[in-house]
Amino acid sequence: MSNVTGWTGKMLRVNLTTGNITTEDTMKYKEFIGGAGIGYKVIFDEVAQGTKAFDEENKIVIAVGPFTGAGVPCSGRTNITSLAPTNPYNAVTDSHMGGNFGPFLKFAGWDAIILEGASKTPVWLKIEDDKVSLEDASHLWGKGTVDTSNELNKVMGKEACIASIGQAGENLIHLSSIVNSVNHSAGGHGGVFGSKKLKAIGVRGTGAVKIAEGKAQEWLKLNRYMMTDIIGANNQHVVPSTPQPWAEYHNKGSRWTGQPALFWGAAEPPVETGECPQGNPNKVGLRTQKAIFDLGDVAEDRTIKMGGCHSCPIRCQSNLKVPELEKYGLTPYAASTCIGFINPGTVMNVNWRGTEEELVIKSLGSRLADDYGIWSNYGQLGRDFRYVLNSGKFKKVLSEEEYNSIPWDLAESEDPAFLLEFYRRIALKEGEFWKIAQGPYWLDQEWNLGDEYWTGYGNNVWSKMAFPKHHSNEAGAQVGVLVNIMFNRDANSHTHMNMIGAGLPLELLKEIAGEVWGSPDAFDEPQNYTPMNKYKAKFAKWSLDRNFLHDSITLCNWVWPMTVSPSKDRNYRGDTALEAKFFSLATGIETSEEELDLAAERIATLHRAATIKEMATIDMRNEHDIIPEWAFTDAKNPDAKPFTPGTVIMDREDMQLALTMLYKEYGWDEKTGAPTRATLERLNMKDVADELEKLNLLPS
C-alpha cells in the first residue's frame, strides 16, 4: 500500500448499528477507479435486492477518486452513492457535492466511507486523520446545516470540513440533501443519512495527496498546458458571451461572461473581470461572472467575489451581498450557483426578470434550502409546486385548516416571506404540504396528479422513472434522450451539453465531432436534427462514459471533458486525453485514453447491472428506458414533423433504433438493453454476471 499514489489506499467502513469502525484496502476497487465506481460496486455487492432507501440494510458510500485533492483543475467533487428514495424502485443513484469535503477526506487519508446499519440515537462521525469516532449528535438534531457546521467547527477547529443534513434529511423528506461548507450540496440522499440517524461527518486532514514519484515537473507542465491552452469557462464554454476584439466568436448563452467594465462590484475595491483571453492562466478565474448569468445585471454590484470548489480555477459560485436578508433573520450574504437560485424563482414565479426583487427572492430561497437541506431536484420542486398550485389541487389535497393556514397572498404578491413558509413546512414535515417534496412519482401516488402532469410539455417530468429531464432532446436530439434514459435520477451528465453549448460555429463543431466520434454526422445543427446513425450512438455512449468517469475519478462534469478549447492556434480542438494524462501522473499507472474509457464503460455497465438487480427485470427497453410522451409532441408547433428545421420532436421508430444502437455500442442485449455475460466478462465483471444469473437477470 505504501507505493499507492493518487489514491490513499484506505477506506473506512462504519457500522452505525454496532458502532464498529474498520479499515479496508481501496485497491480492491481499483478497476472501478473511485467515487461512483466504488459506490456502485458496494451497493451491487452488499445491498440485497428489494432493499429500500430508508431501510437499515441500505448502505451509503461517500467516495472520491485519485484526482480528488491532488490538484487537478476542477477535481473538488465528492460522490455519494446509495439507493434513491425518489426513484419508483428505489434504484441506485449517486449525488455529488463540490466544496472541500472530498479533498479534506483525502488529506485525512481516506478514499471512501462506507456507512451501513442505523444508529438508534443521533450521531455524527468525527474524522481527524486516522482518528475516527462516532459522537453523540443529540444536541444537533433539529438544527439546520449552518448551525450544525458552526457547532462542529467549534469542536474540530476551522480547518475541518463539515457535511451535514438539515431538518429535511432528519424527517426523511425524499428531496433532501447533504451539505458541506454551508452551500455545497449533494441532492437526493439526505434522507438516507436521516434514516441512519447520522447528522453529520466532520473531517480534518493534515496529510497530502501524493502523485507518482518523479512526476512533479511533468505534472506542472501538464497543468500549465491545460490552464493556458485548453480550459475555457464554466461548462467548458470557449467563447465569450459578448463580442470582444480578441475573440473570433461569441455566444449570448456562454458562461464566459468576463468582459471589460464588468465587475465584482461589492468587492473592496471592486474587481474588474476585464477581457480574459485564452493564454493567460491568471485570468481563467475571472472568466465566469456567474452572478449576472444567473441573476441578471443587477447582481454585478452585489457580487463580492466568485467562489467555488477546492482546486477549481473556474469559480462558478456567486458570493453576494444581500442586506435585505437581514429582514428575515439571516446574515446579509448569499452564495449559490445555477439551480440553487433558479428553483426559488420558480416557486415564486419571478424568474428571469432581472430585478432586485427577484435577486432577493432567489438569495433567500437558496439560503433556506441549503440550511434546511432541501434538494430542488433540478428545479422540479418549484415546477411541481406551480403545477399543483395552478391546477387548484392544493385545495383538494390539503385539509381546510391547513389550506387556510398557508399565506397564499404572499405567494401572489411575490413577497419573499412566502419562502419562509414554503421551505419550513417541507423540512419540518408539517401537515400534508411537505409531500410536494417527495419527488414526482410519490407525489403522484399521493395526490393523483393525472396524465397531464406526466405528458405536459414544459413540466419536464421524465416518465416513468420520474425525474426531471436534464439536457435531453433539446440537447443533441437522440444523443440527449439517450443520455437521459440511462439514469435513475436526472442525468447529471453535461458532456454532450458542454460541446453543444460551447459557442463555436457549426462547421467547427462538426469537424471536431468527426475527429472524436468518427463522423461529423454525430453532431446535429441545433433544432434541426437528422435521423439516428451509429455516430450519434458513439457520441451518446462517450458522453455517458465520461460522466461516469468524472464521478469516479473525481472531476467536475460541468467543466470536463475538454472536447473543445478556446485556442485559435489549435483551431479550437480540445484534448480528450487529458484525464488519462493526469491519471498516469497521479497514480503512476501508465494509462491510455482508451484504457481509461474502458474503465468508464465498466462503471456505466455496473450501474446498469445494479439497476437491473433493483428493478428485478432485464427488460430495460420497456421498463426503464421509456421516453416521455412530451418528447413526441411539439407544443410550439403542433404540426411539426421530426427531422425538419425548428423542432426537436422525436420519432418513435427512430428512437427505438437509437436504443438498439446504444445497446450495441455497449455490447448489451439489443432486445432488452441488459448487459450480457460476454460483455460483463469482457469488462472483467464475471462476479456481477454470476450474481445476475443467480437472480435470473441475465439475457439468454
Taking Cα atoms as reference points, which of 14, 33, 70 lies closest to residue 547?
A: 33
- The CA angle 427-431-432, to the nearest 5 degrees, is 90
Phi and psi at residue 165, in whole multiples of 5°?
-105, 155
By CB under 8 A, residue 377 contacts another protein: no
Instruction: Give the binding range for another protein (CB under 8 A) out of 13-21, 430-438, 442-450, 463-471.
Output: 463-471
**Rounded to the nearest whole angstrom, what is the least distance from the CB of residue 635 to another protein in the complex?**
10
By CB under 8 A, residue 157 contacts another protein: no
Name the residue nearer to another protein (CB basis): 145 or 234: 234
C-alpha cell belonging to residue 692 = 445476475
By CB under 8 A, residue 474 contacts another protein: yes
Name the residue nearer to another protein (CB basis): 51 or 644: 644
Residues 638-657 binding another protein (CB under 8 A) are: 640, 644-647
Name the residue nearer to another protein (CB basis): 469 or 602: 469
Name the residue nearer to another protein (CB basis): 394 or 558: 558
Neighbour tally for 535: CB within 10 Å = 20
**Rounded to the nearest whole angstrom, what is the least distance from the CB of residue 352 to another protein in the complex?**
5
Residues 6+ apart with CB under 8 A from 154: none
DSSP 132: E
Name the residue nearer to another protein (CB basis): 459 or 488: 459
Q: Which of 52, 221, 246, 446 binds another protein (CB under 8 A)?
A: 246
Q: How far apart are CA 237 and CA 52, in angstroms?
A: 40
The answer to whether 218 and 237 are in contact (CB under 8 A) is no
C-alpha cell belonging to residue 594 = 482508451
By CB under 8 A, residue 252 contacts another protein: yes
By CB under 8 A, residue 349 contacts another protein: no
Binding mask 259-298 for another protein (x = CB under 8 A): -x---------------------------------x----
By CB under 8 A, residue 238 contacts another protein: no
By CB under 8 A, residue 528 contacts another protein: yes
Tell me which amino acid residue 200 is: A
By CB under 8 A, residue 383 contacts another protein: yes
By CB under 8 A, residue 469 contacts another protein: yes
By CB under 8 A, residue 346 contacts another protein: yes
Instruction: Give the binding range for another protein (CB under 8 A) out of 39-47, 166-174, 440-448, 470-478.
Output: 470-478
What is the rounded radius of gyration, in angstroms, for the C-alpha atoms of the chain? 24
**Rounded to the nearest whole angstrom, what is the least distance from the CB of residue 234 to another protein in the complex?**
11
**Rounded to the nearest whole angstrom, what is the least distance from the CB of residue 278 to another protein in the complex?**
12
DSSP lists the bridge partners of residue 115 as: 14, 60
By CB under 8 A, residue 636 contacts another protein: yes
Neighbour tally for 391: CB within 10 Å = 15
Q: Which strands, in side-by-side order, build the sheet including 21-25? A: 21-25, 10-15, 112-116, 60-63, 78-83, 92-97
By CB under 8 A, residue 243 contacts another protein: yes
**Rounded to the nearest whole angstrom, what is the least distance from the CB of residue 558 to another protein in the complex?**
10
Residues 575-594 binding another protein (CB under 8 A) are: none
Instruction: Give the binding range for another protein (CB under 8 A) out of 106-114, 316-324, 468-476, 513-521.
Output: 468-476
Question: How many residues sit in the footprint of another protein (CB under 8 A)?
Answer: 41
By CB under 8 A, residue 507 contacts another protein: yes
**Rounded to the nearest whole angstrom, what is the least distance from the CB of residue 646 to another protein in the complex?**
3
C-alpha cell belonging to residue 468 = 426531471
Instruction: Give the binding range for another protein (CB under 8 A) out of 249-257, 441-449, 678-686, 689-697.
Output: 249-257
By CB under 8 A, residue 471 contacts another protein: yes
- Classify each residue of 86-121 as buried b or exposed e, where b means 16 or more C-beta atoms within 10 Å of its C-beta: bbbbbbbbbbbbbbbbbbbbbbbbbbbbbbbbbbee
Q: How far apart are CA 479 and CA 473, in angstroms?
A: 7
DSSP, collapsed to helix, strand or coil, labels residue 573 as strand
By CB under 8 A, residue 244 contacts another protein: yes
Q: What is the DSSP string of 32-73?
A: G-SHHHHHHHHHHHHS-TT--TTSTT--EEEE--TTTTTT-T
CA atoms within 13 A on the CB side of 459: 24
Residues 6+ apart with CB under 8 A from 401: none
The answer to whether 196 and 118 are in contact (CB under 8 A) is yes
User: Where along the sequence are the contacts to another protein (CB under 8 A)?
Assistant: 242-248, 251-253, 260, 294, 338-339, 342, 346, 351-352, 379, 383, 458, 460, 469-471, 474-475, 505-507, 525-528, 636-637, 640, 644-647
